[in-house]
Amino acid sequence: MSTVTEKLEGMDVWIYHGQIYIPNRYSAGAVGSRFLIEIRDKKRIMGTRCPTCNRVYVPARSICKDCFGQLDELVEVSDKGTVLTYTVCNQPNPVQPVETPLVYGIVQLDGADTGFVHMLGEVDPEQLRIGMRVQAVFKEEREASILAIKYFKPLA
């Protein structure tokens, strides 16, 4: 993209239409990598369990926020869960992974103690409700990415 400078009508003020574009990569780390690889290779969703606080974090993380303990114990959680809350987004934006209308949800998977942010699909926005039971739908072609889960769909 090139940049353009434009003079404001009737004023000695100029506007520079620019961009900042830098290639970045985020290291998932050892635990984060395991989490993404399990989704890609085995369609399994993993969490980590804090033995001190007896809590399972999903997505898997390596440090407990309450006790600062190092979490080494990876546990598989269910691909089914309960919608804690949701929102319907109608305003398109380049950062969105799919086209609008797009439904974001926070899902507590069975066996997890935390909410997991993802998209909800195969659902009429009118029929959404808190407490709804949902299940993960995985993409056929999967990369090691959170978007290898296509969305969560309502359980029949």
Binding site for another protein (CB under 8 A): 1-3, 5, 7, 11-33, 36-37, 61-66, 68, 94-95, 144-145
**Closest distance to another protein from the beta carbon of 143 (Å):** 9
Is residue 36 a contact partner of residue 141, using CB atoms and an 8 Å limit? no
- 33 or 87: whose CB is closer to another protein? 33
- 24 or 54: whose CB is closer to another protein? 24
CB atoms within 10 A of CB 26: 6
**Closest distance to another protein from the beta carbon of 3 (Å):** 6
- 70 or 85: whose CB is closer to another protein? 70
**Closest distance to another protein from the beta carbon of 51 (Å):** 16
Paired tokens of 121: 């699909």
Angle at 79 between CA 75 and CA 85, to 5 degrees: 105
**Closest distance to another protein from the beta carbon of 148 (Å):** 11
State the Cα–Cα distance between residues 34 and 144, nearest whole angstrom: 9
Cα dihedral 143/49/26/34 (nearest 10): -40
